[in-house]
Amino acid sequence: MEENSVYPFLLFIALAIILIVTPVSAGAGSGLSESNVVSVPDNASIGIYVLDFNRVDMEAGTVGVDFYLELKSDSPISIDDVELMNGMLSSVSVIRDTPNDKEYRIVAIMTAEPNLSRYPFDSHNLTIRFEPKNKTEREMVLVINPSTSGISEEADLPGWTFTNSNYYTTVNTTYLPGEVPYSRAVFSYGITRDATSTLLKFFLPLMLIVIVSLASLMLKGTSRLGLNASLFLAAVLIHWRVADAIPLVGYATFLDLFMIITYATLVMVLISGILILKFMETKDMARIERTNYWSIRLIPAISIVLYILLFLTLVI
């Protein structure tokens, strides 16, 4: 009789244990499943078609650009979801406005990062960089649409020639250590300074000055000194005018090295003229002839070799 009364009690305890354990295990299982859920970022298609670039200001490091921006996504998207990272928007006009497909016409002032080491034979990349404004790489990934990206054939930048265009995206872009990375879309447009304009406006007058200075070595009178002093002053004025168009940089440009050789050539001719003038006062004809002999043979040779070595740096 006592054994029969124990069975209901044991059954009650077993049911109680099952009721307590089942919710706990269910909660643990649901928590595990939630932790294993990986959110898929939105793939936002972005395309930029450049209509025109405006004047490149090397001193200020800016360039104006007029372009179309297209944004597409499976979820609603707008220009408020992205941010121009290397410039400032001047005006934005809406061309197409649907929840998942937007097109804008934008005029912006972009910042440029010029490398002037080869100035005035310099080349640069003008970039347009967009990033999501608030969403990280886990929430939005920018994907470039090549079919809507490019540059107009009518785009013109006076004094420059367009070379190539390159579009790419970068990942793991962060601004602070340990920060969640952002997706970035980069549109790059290569330009190079017009060679014909450079030769006519800069090198032609300077080379004429050097040629006239070297030709003056044939003169034995005192007129050589006055002529080369005037040529030296003209070279300084041309250098000042051309160098004033670029900002001060912490390295020597091609222009600086070219002018150093030019100044060295003019100074050598001036020194030879001063020596001849000095020997003429003492009527030392032997030294006058010796100075003329070595000046005609050494100064042009040294100058030509230095110019050749300098221009070889452009192709090496």
Among candidate residues 193, 214, 246, the one where a domain is terminated = 193
- Amino acid 151: pLDDT: 95
- Amino acid 15: pLDDT: 53
Could you tell me which residues are beta bridge partners of residue 48? 69
Query: Smallest Cα–Cα separation from 112: which of 94, 137, 86?
Result: 86
Range of the structural domain that residue 58 is part of: 42-193
- Amino acid 18: pLDDT: 60
In a domain, 244, yes or no: yes
Q: What is the pLDDT along the chain (316 residues), one digit of tens a residue?
A: 444 555 555 555 655 566 554 544 444 444 434 444 446 788 999 999 999 998 888 888 899 999 999 999 999 999 999 999 999 999 999 999 999 999 999 999 999 888 899 998 999 999 999 999 988 888 899 999 999 999 999 998 888 999 999 999 887 667 767 677 889 999 999 999 887 887 888 889 999 999 999 999 988 766 788 888 899 999 999 998 888 878 888 899 999 999 999 999 999 999 998 888 888 888 888 998 898 899 999 999 999 999 999 999 988 7
CATH number at residue 209: 1.20.58.390
Among candidate residues 193, 228, 257, the one where a domain is terminated = 193
Q: Which residue has the tokens 């790419």?
A: 168
H helices of the chain, where?
2-35, 195-198, 204-215, 223-243, 254-281, 285-312
Among candidate residues 162, 193, 224, the one where a domain is terminated = 193
- Amino acid 147: pLDDT: 93
**Do 146 and 257 belong together in one domain?**
no
DSSP labels for 181-248? PEEEEEEEEEEEE-HHHHIIIIIHHHHHHHHHHHHGGG--STHHHHHHHHHHHHHHHHHHHHHTTS--
In a domain, 30, yes or no: no
- Amino acid 180: pLDDT: 78
